[in-house]
Amino acid sequence: MRKFDLELGVGLFMIVGIICLGYLTIKLGKMEVLGDKGYEVQAVFSNSGGLKTGSSVMIAGVEVGRVKHIVLDDYEARVVINLPIGLKIQEDAIASVKTKGLIGEKYIEITPGGSEKIIVPGGKIRETQSAIDIEQLISNYVFGKL
Amino acid sequence: MGFKLFLSGIVFLFLSTVIQDQALAGKPTDSIRKTTDKIIGIVSDPDLKETDKRKEKDLLIRKAVDEIFDWREMSRRTLARHWRKRTEQEIKEFIDLFGKLLERTYLDKVEGYSGEEVLYKGEAVDGDYGVVKIMIITKKETEISVFYRMKKKGDDWFVYDISVGGVSLINNYRTQFNSIIVRSSFKKLMKKLKAKVEE
């Protein structure tokens, strides 16, 4: 009987351990299990500058959503982002790919517009600004000087 | 007989490419091309080169630009969420000042024109919205890509945003104006704009 109690204890400990591990994996890996809350909108960029699935979407520096996936479509980057349901994005909002710091990771910044039309779930942010290629800027500057 | 057929074949082929070419360059490109040619005509007009003709030249350029720029739409997009809080009077004043500000920036660039080449890189139309892509090649062989974002109104297309080298004009001013309005007030923004325009 005593032996059985010990085995039960170890088993329970293992199960709790696995649950904790699973929780940490989901939390740290920023995965979503029970379906996404929120809605999706698309934005097409001519250069996504290395944006990744899971990159942040910010408004006024506040993280409001994440990049759900990115596909190449006609040599342009079609980015699908996930936004919370209560957040309204105006039809003339501008989505731009920005860099945290000078060489930090990429994120999408949305500057809200003033239109009365709101982008519906599954809709598209028409106004986009691609990542600024700093190397290109430097080379333009260098070769422009010739 | 065979030769005749061959010849008419070539003529047909030639004609169809010409027609296709015209079909490819749609209305948005046409209106941009028209205005660009008009402005280039004005700045390279030897009669208007003298300094005392400067006012006249500026006026002509402004007129050409007015035909294709939708100032109200541009102002609305620039003020974004602050637009709806403005009275009709404030809106009128803002459109006037913002137009003048762009005119200053734009005219300075245009007046430095010295035979840069303008290439039309195509357009993309999606419903009532379109983008016209052009490439300006400077004398130093630097390429500058310019996108004109246009909106259809009735039968004509009007510019509401310009991106130069991937940087949107509206986004630039929207961020700047928003931070001025949030930090101080709309009145302060108008004061700053006035000072800048009168500089």
Nearest to A78 by CA among A112, A110, A111, A53: A53
Residue A91 sits at the chain B interface (C-beta within 8 Å): no
Q: How confident is the model at residue A146 (pLDDT cuts 50, 70, 90)?
A: very low
Q: How confident is the model at residue B24 (pLDDT cuts 50, 70, 90)?
A: very low
Give A61-80 pLDDT, tens digit per residue. Answer: 999 999 999 999 888 899 99
* Cβ–Cβ under 8 Å, residues B103 and B39: no
Which residue does chain B place closest to A96, by CA atoms?
B171
Whole-model pTM: value is: 0.76
B129 burial level (CB within 10 Å; 0-12, 13-18, 19+): middle
- Does residue B17 register a pLDDT over 50? no
Give A6-15 pLDDT, tens digit per residue. Answer: 889 999 999 9
Q: What is the ipTM of this complex?
A: 0.71
Give B91-109 pLDDT, tens digit per residue. Answer: 999 999 999 898 888 777 7
- The minimum CA-CA distance between B83 and chain A, rounded to whole Å, is 6
Domains in chain B (CATH in brackets) are 2-198 (3.10.450.710)
Per-residue pLDDT at B25: 55
Q: Which of A112, A114, A140 sits opposite B76 (nearest CB)?
A: A114
B158/B76 Cα distance (integer angstroms): 14
- The sheet with strand B143-153 has its strands ordered as B117-126, B129-137, B143-153, B156-164, B167-168
B61/B134 Cα distance (integer angstroms): 19
Nearest to A112 by CA among A38, A47, A62, A45: A62
DSSP symbol at A118: B
State mean pLDDT over B47-65. Answer: 82
- Does residue B19 register a pLDDT over 50? no
A16/A28 Cα distance (integer angstroms): 18
- Does residue A109 register a pLDDT over 70? yes
